[in-house]
Structure 1
Amino acid sequence: MTGQATISHPRIFQGWFVVAAAFAVTFVGFGSAYTFSAFVEPLQRNFGASRGSVSLVFSLAGFLYFGLGILSGPLADRFGSRPLAVAGMILTGLGLAAASAAQSLTQVYAAYGLGVGLGVGCAYVPAIGAVQRWFVRRRGFASGLAVSGIGVGTLVMPPLASLLIGMLGWRGAYLTLGALAMVLGGGLALLIENDPRRRGLGPDGDPPPSTVAAARPEGAAVNEAIRSMRFVSLYAACLICSFGVFVPFVHLVPFAQDHGIAPSAAVWLLGVIGIGSTAGRFFLGGLADRMGRELSLLLMFVGMALALAMWAVSTTVWPLAAFAFVYGVFYGGWVAVLPAVVMDYFGGRNVAGLIGILYTSVAFGTLVGPSAAGFAFDVSHSYTLPILLSAAANVAAAIIVTASSSLAVGNTALQRQRSVSPP
């Protein structure tokens, strides 16, 4: 009894502070990135540019902040997530500040594309990868809570950017957002820690494993994982769906304005995606822990496809708001469940590196999708074809995940049959 009384346990598990830090990184990083829709019209007007060429700014940034995970993930596995997350938030702030001084659209490409792209790319995968190691039983919920910063950022930051543009102009708005990224994002990123064992803890706050084998997290080697059918299928599904996933984040606001909706209400629609996204990350992440994360991932693809089909037939504010919310729910669930599925498949040994490699698929889709939708609009003055293709891409992704899951189950059953068959 006496010995037990001397053992002290923290009232709040340290893993939740890591989740809070990752929330701050995603809130500031992606919230700043997703303000871009509010800047499309001012940038078009200021530089006399087409919608497709302006949309390319976001596509370049998106390509970098998802593609850079292939470097930042392994670096985080080796050196720790905190320095990369802090550096990423500082780069994001500098990129936004540099964009405020741009004198040409090319300079916006360089400042916003490189600054925000490299900054979020440095911070995102390391922060989310760190969260995966702190939880097992509640991994889906914790991952969902961490990336719900993206949803809250999408809710808060675009209306804030619109307000700042009205008060300070687009240059002053970018400068203010840059300062916010460096101070808030960089400061809270200091709470990130890579591994619970350094605090004498196990995942979920359990006692740490006492075996020698616990000195290194279990899991597949990178080369082994990326050659597996599960990883290849997951990569293909994410690549295909990503051609359409980010089209609403760039084009929903101009789409709404094209149909006579006031700019303030159009930007509010982007905030509705954020509301839905926050709900999806928070609730669907926890639900995935109970119903199975692989099945949940399949449902996210189907849900995004159905929501995009709603967009194709919506032209007034309330149907568009319904689309925005439903789409946000399933998009948020997709972002929440995906890192947890990687951890389930391949373990924690190289989880950040594998998430980073997987996100290069999203990078290529983001590079092509939003800008292609913009150029398609420049030619046809309609978003119908890009929206329908985006929905079809998510259907294709769902088919790939279903086929991969069925093949994996079949292979497992065959291996079991062989193991019990006489020689």
Structure 2
Amino acid sequence: MSRPALPLFPGWFVVAGAFAVTFVGFGGAYTFSAFFEPLRQTFGATRGSVSLVFSIAGFLYFSLGVISGPLADRFGTRRVAAAGMILLGVGLALAGLARSLIEVYLAYGLGVGIGVGLAYVPALGAVQRWFDRRRGLASGLAVSGIGVGTLALPPLAALLVEQVGWRATYLLLGAACGLIGLGAALLLRNDPAGLGYAPDGLPALASAPPPGGLTVSEAVRTRRFAGLYLACLICAFGVFTPFVHLVPYAMDHGVPAARAALLLGAIGVGSTAGRFLLGGLADRLGRETTLLAMVGGVAASLAAWALLDGFWPLMLFAAAFGVFYGGWVALLPALVMDAFGGRSVGGIIGLLYTSVALGTLVGPPAAGWMFDATGGYRPAILAAAATSLVGLIVLAATFRRRN
């Protein structure tokens, strides 16, 4: 049974739920930089081994989309995302109780990694099905939660670490993120057909066909998927380096810890702007062209980072990098829907994000180990810029082919 279009399309509630899920999920995950030095000092660890905590979580929350997407298609986005948000809160809280770095790997790495992995791709996949004409805008608004979370939660965590210690801070974050995330997950719905709507709030026809497009097995056999996968893999080697190493880099260059934590907030500001503004702009200018510009901007900003020190130059870098990173993340789900249709969009996005998972697993620890070996961050930062440039070349070649 169809329903008339309403002034406030229910799809925007789905966008709001996805925004809040990404806010607490990635905002909670990116607080890791505030805990970097306390963990290193508490457990007497190297920078490479501490970086591996974040990378385990990142590997899991990007790779698990290949499982959580199909699970959401079968059991419902709301149930799968709710389970993920509960695990996120439990993982953060247990990290505060860890007695060794191995226990931090297990609590934070597994709890945060699996928790965000169960929620992220299902939430984004649901948003894609609710919109067509305004898909870029809706996707950008949904993932802007990552930027706002990066703006708000890492500086808050740094302040709490100074006031109550890192263990109590993890307990507080776990409780807050778990409760807020669970409430947000309840706003999610798989697709508009269940409420009698078509995408964008149009009344659905009683005999409307199911969403068209490729299955996961059909999509992975296309050259376009292979190109997207390779480009994302290469870019991910470097793009997550600032989320782990920008704060310790700034502290090495004389920036106090409390101010250094604000640099991640600047990434959040830029990322939020990129997600809010560039998603809608890409709908008009072309999503492929805009994504190429974003990846090129990531490479250029990382190269500039290698030459900078001092708080304000690093703030400018962080904000610029955030814009380009935010635009990149905002556009990927919409491009997947453009290329392969909505039939298995959750599963295809999830499989594509395994490339980002592998890059995240390798990149930040490699940067830490390069620092341990050379005594400085410049080689690692230049390597991050170089991988982003190679990823841009692969992506441009992929878009040149139309199949």
TM-score, normalised by the number of residues in structure 2: 0.98
Aligned counterpart, 2:386: 392
Aligned counterpart, 1:333: 327
User: Match for 1:277: what amino acid?
Assistant: S
Q: CA deviation at 1:70?
A: 0.8
Helix, strand or coil: the match of 2:365? helix
Out of 69, 75, 85, the residue aligned to residue 73 of structure 1 is 69
Aligned counterpart, 2:138: 142
Q: Which moved more, 1:363-372 or 1:384-393?
A: 384-393
Aligned counterpart, 1:421: none
Helix, strand or coil: the match of 1:177? helix
Out of 9, 18, 21, the residue aligned to residue 22 of structure 1 is 18
Aligned counterpart, 2:284: 290
Contact 2:6 2:201 in 1 (8 A): no
Q: Distance in 2 between matches of 1:403 and 1:157?
A: 38
Aligned counterpart, 2:246: 252
Aligned counterpart, 2:370: 376
Aligned counterpart, 1:224: 218
Q: Distance in 1 between matches of 2:380 and 2:332?
A: 25
Pairs within 5 Å for 1:1-400: 9-212=5-208, 214=209, 216-400=210-394
Residue deviations 1:217-253 (CA, integer Å, cap 9, x gap): 1110111101100000000000000000100000000
Helix, strand or coil: the match of 1:96? helix
Q: CA deviation at 1:35?
A: 0.3
Q: Distance in 2 between matches of 1:221 and 1:148?
A: 28
User: Match for 1:275: what amino acid?
Assistant: V
Q: CA deviation at 1:399?
A: 0.9
Q: CA deviation at 1:8?
A: 5.5
Q: CA deviation at 1:211?
A: 3.6
Q: CA deviation at 1:316?
A: 1.0
Q: CA deviation at 1:392?
A: 1.1
User: Match for 1:279: what amino acid?
Assistant: A
| CA spacing shift, 1:9–1:136, aligned 2, 3 Å | closer
Q: Distance in 1 between matches of 2:72 and 2:289?
A: 29
Contact 2:59 2:357 in 1 (8 A): yes
Q: CA deviation at 1:48?
A: 0.8
Quote the sequence identity (%).
64
Q: CA deviation at 1:265?
A: 1.0
Residue deviations 1:163-201 (CA, integer Å, cap 9, x gap): 111121100000000001111111121010011011111
Helix, strand or coil: the match of 1:191? coil
Q: CA deviation at 1:100?
A: 0.7
Contact 2:5 2:201 in 1 (8 A): no
User: Match for 2:338: what amino acid?
Assistant: D
User: Match for 1:310: what amino acid?
Assistant: A
Aligned counterpart, 1:415: none
Q: Distance in 2 between matches of 1:263 and 1:99?
A: 21
Q: Distance in 1 between matches of 2:140 and 2:378?
A: 32
Contact 2:297 2:324 in 1 (8 A): yes
User: Match for 1:239: what amino acid?
Assistant: L
Q: Distance in 1 between matches of 2:79 and 2:59?
A: 22
Q: Distance in 1 between matches of 2:95 and 2:398?
A: 43
Helix, strand or coil: the match of 2:165? helix
| CA spacing shift, 1:223–1:8, aligned 2, 3 Å | closer
Structure 2 residue runs without a partner (length 5+)? none
Q: Distance in 2 between matches of 1:8 and 1:305?
A: 47
Q: Distance in 2 between matches of 1:200 and 1:8?
A: 9
Q: Distance in 1 between matches of 2:26 and 2:401?
A: 35
Q: CA deviation at 1:210?
A: 4.4
User: Match for 1:355: what amino acid?
Assistant: I
Q: Distance in 2 between matches of 1:46 and 1:407?
A: 52
